[in-house]
Amino acid sequence: MNKIHTSILIATTLILVGICVAGQEQLHITADTLCSKNTHVAVPENSDAPPQDYYLVNDSKKILAGPYRDISCTESGDVIYTIGDKISQSAPNHLELFENRNWKTGLLDSKGKVIVNASWRYLERTLVKECFLIGVDFDNANGLLCNHKDVVKPSSELPGIIDVKYSLDPSIVLYSTEDQNYETNDYALNLKTGTVHEATAEELYSWGDSHEGRLAKSKDGKWGFINSKLNFVIPAVYDSVSYFSNGFALAWKDNKRMYLDTNGVVLGGQKYENAFFFSEGSNLGLVKQNGLWYFINKQGKNTIGKSFSDAYAFTDSIAEVKVKDLWGAIDTKGKFVVTPQLPTDFEISLSDAGTYVVTINSLAYNVLPDGSLKAIPESERSSSSSYDDGYYDDDY
């Protein structure tokens, strides 16, 4: 090779290296896109908005894969990548821009190698890190891709998959389908074998349904709670139980209700005629004993010191209560915000001015400082933020 050819080759090589280095120097890692220990998503600094090109890069910003129309990290370490036409900046609106683009999605590993070809119109993460919802068209039913295999193929007709979650057995994934009549069916997928069968009642228990590290489970017709190791930590001796909320579950036995902590200890050793969850914010539970309702704290004490002929659970800091035959409302200290004066329960809300408003049917009243009510003319009514009555269904 002569000197001229050698010089041209060296110059060309330097130019190409310079372009690559310059291109890499222009890449910037997008926020919150750490895909793995040292893998990131990056876009060119001069990319249009929205970005047209995405790259998978390492800590040194060396390009591992790309450019793609989009890249999204997942918990499993796999990377969702999208190929297709660039976005037209002249699209009339974002919806048309989104629906009309000719994009397909697939999966990369953390090193940028393609492990699932980009053949799906969409590929979405689920609560199960090994599984993704897949579809060939947004108007058709979806399918399921698990362990990089399409175990449930997308269909042009319903039913479609509406829920995907782990079962108690980590090798079994539960998914539900729904048809045009809103009928649902439950299936179990074995991740080890790839086989699918109709889910049994036992398999339908899902650790995703657990609360505060406890999951209700039946044994010999009675109910208790298991932990994440599937061991009973609260024995199955109850006729029925709720889930855990605010540190306690409700349990039913011999027509009595009681509160259980996560160790199975009955709060205060007390059994009630009726009981409801501890309310968020107030941390007060509503119970019935000897025909009267009252509120207890998480030590089982009646801190308000009053009983009522009927009551609703606290919502925020207000609870509707009935004294003899009249309804009013109290705060968490037991002070009457609305004195007992109404023949029926009501809705209470907070006005734009920060004062309480009571609504019964089509009538509205301002709550005065002494707890009395003053009718509001219809022409003066303003919007308000209504409180839910906070009353829980008897099943819980």
Q: What residue spans define the domains of the chain?
A: 1-120, 141-209
CB 318 within 8 A of CB 332: no
Say yes or no to pLDDT of 49 above 80.
no
CA distance 54 to 42: 6
Instruction: For residue 291, give every residue at least 6 positions away whose Cβ sits within 8 Å of its Cβ, in sequence order, or none.
Output: 273
CB 278 within 8 A of CB 264: no
Say yes or no to pLDDT of 306 above 80.
yes
Token pair in block for residue 32: 């919150």
Task: Read off the pLDDT band of 263 (50, 70, 90).
Answer: very high
| Bridge partners of residue 79, in order along the sequence | 73, 108
Tell me the one-letter amino acid at 251.
A
292 vs 40, higher pLDDT = 292
101-113 pLDDT, tens per residue? 678 888 888 888 9
CA distance 174 to 205: 9
Concatenated DSSP letters for 160-224? EEEEEEE-SSTTEEEEEEE-TT--EEEEEEETTT--EEEPPTTTT--GGG-BTTBEEEEETTEEE
Instruction: For residue 247, give every residue at least 6 positions away whose Cβ sits within 8 Å of its Cβ, in sequence order, or none.
Output: 212, 261, 262, 278, 298
287-304 pLDDT, tens per residue? 999 999 999 999 999 989
Token pair in block for residue 109: 């590993």
- The average pLDDT across 267-288 equals 92
